[in-house]
Amino acid sequence: MKSEDELFKGLPASLTVDIQDNILLVGINRVEKRNAINDEIILGFEKIFSNIPGTLACAIIYGKGKHFSAGVDLAELKEQNDLLEGLKHSRMWHRILDQLQFGTIPVIAMLHGAVLGGGLELASAAHIRVAEQSAFYALPEGQRGIFVGGGGSVRVPKLIGLARMTDMMLTGRVYSAEEGMAVGLSQYLVESGSGLAKAIELAKIISSNAPATNYALMHVLPRITDSNQEQGLMMESLIATVSKNTPEAKERLKLFLEGKAKKVGL
């Protein structure tokens, strides 16, 4: 079995990887470009999230410097002169962000500064988004003569609704951190400088869950919400039956009934 250092060896300098206990921290480190995402970075994410060791239970993605990400590096897009090349590039993003959303561990995105275009597409693939007060959101593709290509048309409307995303692209509307929290772009809003600490706090809670529960929330719940009612209810019954019959679930229930489990809210 390869060590964690070996698994993450050979990553570009534009990505950093740190491990704290069983939490993986991935930093976008292209500060001079406001963390604009190029092919090197997105392929680096693929290397990371296709090699998650079983010792890790949660991941955090964040941006170095003042911004999460100002979006896709448009200089690279400009160099694409072939239609098929552009299609393959978009599908590459789809493949890699699916690895985040439907991977082996939950992912938290810690957002600050610019969360624009492809940066918002990346953030929308995470399971939880923690925003600092400095965060602001936009989809400037509409003003650039292009369309989102990294899964944003599927994921962002599920967070904020079709009408709001349409407005963002038609008008270039920018949401502040507070507005983003209100419409569903983040689930948590914290003071600037405290986002990573909050993300780590949440990651520790998530890491303490039963793995079967986390897996169900990552892989089954999204498919339930995408299905019709009859299919969704059947999937719910199946995963509820499977999860409650795992040895860990039985042990946790036993502790609860004996009064040894932590009370909710305490």
Residues involved in catalysis: 121, 141
CA 65 vs CA 109, 112, 118, 122, 227: distances in Å:
15, 9, 18, 17, 40
Tokens of 236: 């719910």
- Integer Cα distance of 253 and 97 in angstroms: 35
What is the CA angle 113-119-123, rounded to 5? 95
- Compute φ and ψ for 136, nearest 5 degrees: -145, 150
3-state secondary structure (DSSP) of residue 140: coil
Composition of the chain by helix, strand, coil, percent to 5? 50, 15, 35
Contact call for residues 8 and 23 (beta carbons, < 8 A): no
H, E, C per residue of 63-108: ECCCCCECCECHHHHHCCCCHHHHHHHHHHHHHHHHHHHCCCCCEE
Exposure of 37 by Cβ count < 10 A (0-12 exposed, 13-18 middle, 19+ buried)?
buried
